[in-house]
Structure 1
Amino acid sequence: MSDRLHLLPHHRTELEALLREHVPDADVWAYGNRVNGLCHEASNLDLALRSPNLEPLGSEYSDLLEALEQSNIPILVQAHDWARLPESFHREIERDHVVVQQGADRSEWRSMPFSEAVLVNPPVQLQRGTEYTFVDMAAVNPGIRWVWAESQRKHSGGGSRFQDGDTLMARITPCLENGKIARYRALSRMALAHGSTEFIVIRGRPGVTDNEFAYYLTQSSAVRDYSVSQMTGTSGRQRVPTAALDHIDVAIPPLPEQRRIAAILGALDDKIELNRRMNETLEAMARAIFRDWFVDFGPVRAKLEGREPYLPPKLWDLFPDRLVDSELGEIPEGWEVKALGEVIDVVGGTTPSTKRADYWEGGTHCWATPKDLSVLRSPVILDTERKVTDAGLAKIPSGLLPAGTLLLSSRAPIGYLAMCQVPVAINQGFIAVPPGKAVSNHFMLHWSQAFHNEIVNHANGSTFLEINKSNFRKIGFVMPHEPVLAQFDAQVHSLHKRIVTNERESLALAAQRDALLPKLISGELRVRELQAT
């Protein structure tokens, strides 16, 4: 039993005996003041009793309560049936508890401090002045298991050090709250690397924990949420003290069970990773088409130089065979230079008062901020972190924008992009382009990616650059012939549709993984039970 449980030794012994006698199959967790250090001599002891299937306990529960009342333990012991506790209590208890008893079905599981279950910041020998792969915080993407990097930096003696397969956990706010935890994967033969000082490095402890299981254990709410609760420092720069990991009690199954748990969760992550790579390829294909047709004017130049056609004949014939001068340089003959405002609509958004609960509580309308775009794996919006009510939506002049709207973050930073697949309202950090004008939003998405620097050049601001709607509308671009635009839309639409399908599947897989992870890690759900369903 962890030293974090403030209970005299002979009272602990009596408590354990009563639990073994009356609820031998239940997991028993202590929580509250006698765990968090806020107790005094007469403080109650709060216990949560978790039956093997998390169903309500039977007569054994009432027998235990009676036995506790008649025991020699001089404080009030409040034993609560987990199944009868409100759901809101579950997460609070999971965040900070001590395992008092593991049920008979988990007799081979061991309870121990997290820092004893894994290696924390294990020694890695790097040569000062030698170049190694360097991983910064920006390389870690929430929800993606692996992190890798190609940049090399000379090791100066500071920062984090790790090897292939180690888990990197952000220790600073808001990176940890945002889920920046990943395993390092070496892309070269050099397995050793270094990185940001804001990483805590986790590795499986030989003979105790499997390395991949250690990653999922670190991802569990028991570790993440407790770590967040222990952050110290000034506002905005709070960090997790490494010593806090000594005070997280975790249940560790035998190594074979760990590997089975990691295999189940890893299979879901493998499919998510496959979808991510597929989408990267699809996005690259769409970008390549746009650049060839509308930036490099590849088909036009090929005709000028007398090269063989590389597109189908009907498509090839749509491109001119000459370039002419324009204010934007040489452009295909017959294409025009126009201002964006001539061919698209541009709207902005706002933030309803956060002091008005009726604008937010129970909200059903997606409300996007640039933060929603910052964590996207692909430029696709399927949901938002926050939602507004009908009353909140009424305070946003642009209202609910239709699916197909293109969002471009207009400040801090300029250039996050996404196509909305659901109706969405927006805050003031966007330029939004609703669909349905002379050029499609497939075209505008790729134009905004290719001409990002041009957008930034039209921004202004003293504290940080911002591109406002007026300046955005004035930006000049090359307007292709309508038949060429239609062919581009047809090709890119099919690629985009596959991207959306993959992203929807990945979200569903991630939800399944996130639902299984706490249950498998805690032993609430056993692998054999999952395999039997």
Structure 2
Amino acid sequence: MEFKETQLESILEINPTTSLKKGTITKKIAMEHLDGFVKKIQDYEITEFKSGSKFKNGDTLVARITPCLENGKIAYVDILDEDEIAFGSTEFFVIRAKQGKADSQFIYYLMRSPEVRDITIQSMTGTSGRQRAQKESILGYKLKVPDLDTQRRIGNVLSLFDKKIEVNKEMIKTLEQLSQTLFKHWFIDFEFPNEQGQPYKSSGGEMVESELGEIPKGWRINSLDKIANYQNGLAMQKYRPMESEKKSLPVLKIKELNQGFTDVNSDRCSINIKDSVKVLNGDVIFSWSGTLLVKLWTGGEAGLNQHLFKVTSCDFQKWFYYLWTKHYLTVFQARAAEKATTMGHIKRAHLEEAKAVIPKLIQLEVANKTFEPIIEQIIALGIENKKLQELRDTLLPKLLSGEIEIPDELEVK
């Protein structure tokens, strides 16, 4: 395995000439279709090409504008049909491996490596808030690069991690859908299994009137804020780490909740904040202002920022208050949308208005056996993804620099 000092312009192109006729209907990938530090393009739209960056499968898209570049918006193009050309934001650098000189997967990981990211960020010029990276700084940069065969092996090894992460994400998505389908079956349609294992309501189960309409006899109603505690976070800018503190915590804000993990750009807070605003794996987090989200956090220990609730309960299992809070999310989003002149948010009064239907103890125990394993599996997969991301990011600079060699056989299970 040989590494030679190489100027990047000898192995890659930036914004190469790509032919796409105006008026062509094709895929458009906007900046919002990329997630920070995520290889896979999350979405696209079909529309008419008028202008923009043009790319094909095997290209790497790098956001060149602040703060998208700093936030890690770098993606690998592999969602197009054969020979299809797509287009996107003019704020993308389109990076293409030179044929016979570089491997496209290797180039993607090279562009997201700390060394190349740093020189790209440092090249930014322009007015505050509208700074853009300069391609000349990237093309002129020199670093040691391995031979083409080694590049392919490095790209393949690192891709194993990203593929496994995507498989886990799909499993999480399926389990989330399953949990919500079962929740509706049990707590909205009241078709939970009766003593004979038959659907309760459609099998003639006794129903009684309530403020929510008919509910099963023996069940009761209470508000969300009575079945769970909604602990608001702190204005963490007031709780910065002290110089004497050897350790600190990343701050969990809406950005981190949305992407599922903290990163190098996340703010830090003191490790001495009270336990009620420390977030651990498996905690239910509800963003109640701006972008309303309800998620199971698996991104490791963090400090809870304001505008986020940590949801807990001494009386009910996690699945119960998680799925009830998620059930009302569309209602809360509608309430927040009514705040037309301010950042949309909900109030505690909305938690009081949102009513949950609570089963009898024996039925709740049966429900626990149904729902708890699903939620625990979602959490386990999320934690596994966090570990895979950390291992990938540890290996990436070491493999690219030749500090460690690639094992003859490596499998990510």
Aligned to 1:412: 290
* Cα drift, residue 164 of structure 1: 1.9
SS of 1:250's partner is: strand
Distance 1:415 1:121, change over 3 A: same
Measure the CA separation in 2 of the matches of 1:175 and 1:504. Answer: 26
Aligned to 2:191: 299
Residue 509, structure 1, aligned to residue 388, structure 2: yes
SS of 1:346's partner is: strand
Residue 126, structure 1, aligned to residue 20, structure 2: yes
Contact kept? 1:407, 1:433, Cα under 8 Å: yes
- How do 1:43-122 residues align onto structure 2 when only pairs under 5 Å count? 106=2, 109-122=3-16
* Cα drift, residue 402 of structure 1: 7.2
* Cα drift, residue 277 of structure 1: 2.1
Contact kept? 2:70, 2:265, Cα under 8 Å: no
* Cα drift, residue 464 of structure 1: 0.5
Aligned to 1:271: 164
Residue 346, structure 1, aligned to residue 230, structure 2: yes
Contact kept? 1:261, 1:520, Cα under 8 Å: yes
Q: Which structure's CA Rg is the greater one?
A: 1
SS of 1:338's partner is: strand
- Return the structure number with greater relative CO, CA threshold 8 A, min gap 6: 2
Measure the CA separation in 1 of the matches of 2:97 and 2:42. Answer: 19
My pick for the range that moved more, 327-336 or 183-192, is: 327-336
Equivalent residue letter for 2:325: S
* Cα drift, residue 326 of structure 1: 5.4
- How do 1:281-430 residues align onto structure 2 when only pairs under 5 Å count? 281-295=174-188, 297=189, 299=191, 314-316=196-198, 321=205, 327-328=211-212, 335-354=219-238, 357-358=241-242, 361-364=245-248, 367-376=251-260, 385=266, 388-389=269-270, 391=272, 393-394=273-274, 398-400=276-278, 405-419=283-297, 425-430=303-308
For the aligned residues, what is the CA RMSD? 3.4
Please give the TM-score of this superposition, normalised by the length of structure 2: 0.84
Residue 435, structure 1, aligned to residue 313, structure 2: yes
Measure the CA separation in 2 of the matches of 1:521 and 1:505. Answer: 24
Aligned to 1:102: none
Contact kept? 2:290, 2:345, Cα under 8 Å: yes
Contact kept? 1:366, 1:386, Cα under 8 Å: yes
Distance 1:229 1:366, change over 3 A: closer
Aligned to 2:134: 241
* Cα drift, residue 494 of structure 1: 1.0
Where structure 1 has 5 or more consecutive residues not aligned to the other structure, the ranges are 1-104, 301-310
* Cα drift, residue 528 of structure 1: 6.4
Distance 1:192 1:482, change over 3 A: farther
SS of 1:288's partner is: helix
Measure the CA separation in 2 of the matches of 1:478 and 1:174. Answer: 44
Contact kept? 1:359, 1:389, Cα under 8 Å: no
Measure the CA separation in 2 of the matches of 1:384 and 1:492. Answer: 35
Aligned to 1:6: none
Equivalent residue letter for 1:417: K
| Aligned pairs, number | 406
Residue 464, structure 1, aligned to residue 343, structure 2: yes
Measure the CA separation in 2 of the matches of 1:402 and 1:518. Answer: 28
Where structure 2 has 5 or more consecutive residues not aligned to the other structure, the ranges are none
SS of 2:66's partner is: coil
Aligned to 1:490: 369
Measure the CA separation in 1 of the matches of 2:130 and 2:180. Answer: 38
* Cα drift, residue 521 of structure 1: 1.4
